[in-house]
Amino acid sequence: MSLTVRPGEIVGLIGANGAGKTTLIRMILGLEAANVGTLAVFGGPPSRQTRRRLGYMPQGLGLYRELSVRENVDFVAEAFDVDGPPLPDALAAVATRQVGALPLGLQRRLAFHCALLHRPELIVLDEPTSGVDPLARTRLWDTIHDQAETGCGVLVTTHYMEEARQCTRLVIMSRGRLVARGSVDDIIGDERAVAVHTDNWAGALTALTAAGLPVTLAGRSVRVAGAVAARVQEALAAAAIPAATTAVPATLEEKLVLIEQTARQEAPT
């Protein structure tokens, strides 16, 4: 694994569950040590000093659910010995309410506010928009971009592929290893997919999966990444499913499916 986050850029850390994303983040925070290799945060090993320059929003939010919004903010401010910016209007309106009673979207906004309270130079966000509605996700990403524009570096993990395009560049992990990096267009490259046109989309999905092809489904749209049309048509014909096929550019999600498939095949047994 090799990773650098520079001031003002948003680096997306992408990978399936178990790829090692959270473990890597814990190493950056100084919560776990590397067995081999080197890890430098602001030019030195992770420490209390580097942690003061780093903002962190964990996947579990890291909030005290039994305390109020204001009490959570006061605790973080005291820990970092800062006053911090005032609460945004949405949080100020619920400042005295217990965090555990708030909707998830507000809890995530509070966790993000706490991560930025001490004006960090690097922000590490582990699935910051998981489980929130599209509007709340957009607001959080607006804030992420605002921070990057001030020169703050951002390292963010996400399972939403549409959010990956918001990143300056991506780092793809699989089984604890770096398997691809670059912009979305760099990673997709000239990869192609086969779009399947049929009324029997469920049967097509079953037949293509049984044939061992990397199938994705968006609504009722069946697609096969990295396959030639003749192979797809052969599998459909064998299952007596009438369908037409079209070669199309692959999506980022489809490319990631192929990358993960290759990583599994190359992994040592």
Domain with residue 66: its CATH number is: 3.40.50.300
With a CB cutoff of 8 Å and minimum separation 6, the contacts of 66 are 98, 99, 100
Tens-digit pLDDT profile for residues 9-47: 999 998 878 888 888 888 888 888 888 888 888 888 888
Residue 67 has a pLDDT of 93
Residue 12 has a pLDDT of 92
- What percent of the chain shows pLDDT beyond 90? 16
Higher pLDDT: 269 or 224? It is: 224
Between CA 79 and CA 56 the distance in angstroms is: 14
Shared domain check, 219 and 173: no
Residue 256 belongs to some domain of the structure: no
Q: In total, how many domains does the chain have?
A: 2
Shared domain check, 114 and 29: yes
Shared domain check, 217 and 173: no
Q: Which residues of 161-198 are buried (b: 16+ CB within 10 A; e: fewer)?
A: bebbebbebbbbbbbeebbbbeebeebbeebbbbebeb
pTM reported for the whole predicted model: 0.81
Residue 166 has a pLDDT of 87
Shared domain check, 168 and 239: no
Tens-digit pLDDT profile for residues 245-255: 888 888 888 88
Shared domain check, 226 and 109: no
Residue 265 has a pLDDT of 67
Running DSSP on this structure, what letter comes out for residue 178? E
Shared domain check, 166 and 207: no
Residues 107, 130: contact at Cβ < 8 Å?
no
Shared domain check, 122 and 68: yes
Residue 111 belongs to some domain of the structure: yes
Residue 62 has a pLDDT of 86
Residue 8 has a pLDDT of 93
Shared domain check, 34 and 153: yes
Shared domain check, 175 and 51: yes
* Phi then psi dihedrals of residue 98, to 5 deg: -70, 135
Q: Which domain holds residue 172?
A: 10-186
Tens-digit pLDDT profile for residues 86-118: 888 888 899 899 998 998 888 888 998 999 888
DSSP letters spanning 233-264? HHHHHHTT---EEEEEEPPHHHHHHHHHHHHH
Q: Using the Cα atoms of residue 52, residue 55, residue 60 and residue 66 in order, give the sign of their dihedral.
A: positive
